[in-house]
Amino acid sequence: MKIAVDKGQDKGFLPDGRHVVTITHIEEGTSEHQGVPFFAAHMESEDGFVDQRFYNSPAGHPIILSLYAAVGIKPHDGKDLDTKELIGKHLSVEVSDHHYTDPASGNERSVRQATGFRAA
C-alpha cells in the first residue's frame, strides 16, 4: 500500500502548550450534526500543526473575532470578514486536547484544538 503525503502533512500534531503558528490554508464546510457553517484553519510551525474549526454562529462569533484580532485584522460594521485574509498570518495559540461526547453515538471523543489566540 502507498500512502500519499500531501503538502503540510509531513508533520505531526503540535504538542501541548503555547506555539507561534502560521495559518497556511482554510477549508469551509458545514457541521455534521446541526448544519452550522464553519471554516477550519490549518495552523502550523516547524514543530507540527493543528486544525481548528470556527463556527459561524452567534456563539462562535466572539471566538472568530478573537482570532482576527490576534492576527491584526479589525472588523468594521457592515463589512464582511473574509477568511482568505487569514492565510499567511502569524499568531500564538495554546494547543491541547478537548474531550466531548459524540451526540450521534454517545461515545467519548477527543480532538486536538487551538485556543487562547494572541498576537505573535
> Does 45 fall in a domain?
yes
Q: Are 120 and 20 in contact (CB under 8 A)?
A: yes
**Where is pLDDT greater, at 46 or 8?**
46
Q: Is the pLDDT of residue 102 over 70?
A: yes
Distance CA 111, CA 11 (A): 17
> Does 97 fall in a domain?
yes
Number of domains in the chain: 1
What's the pTM? 0.87
> Does 68 fall in a domain?
yes
State whether the Cα torsion 41-116-71-22 is positive or negative: negative
Distance CA 29, CA 31 (A): 7
Q: What is the pLDDT of residue 32?
A: 85
> Does 2 fall in a domain?
no
Output the domain CATH number for residue 91. Answer: 2.40.50
Where in the sequence is the domain holding 85, given as residue range(s)? 17-119
pLDDT 10s digits, 36-91: 999 999 999 999 999 999 999 999 999 999 999 999 999 989 999 999 999 999 99
> Does 10 fall in a domain?
no
pLDDT 10s digits, 15-39: 999 999 999 999 999 998 889 999 9
> Does 103 fall in a domain?
yes
> Does 28 fall in a domain?
yes
The arrangement of strands across the sheet holding 90-101 comes to 48-55, 37-45, 17-30, 90-101, 108-119
> Does 109 fall in a domain?
yes
**Among 12-16, 52-56, 100-104, 114-118, which is the least confidently predicted range?**
100-104
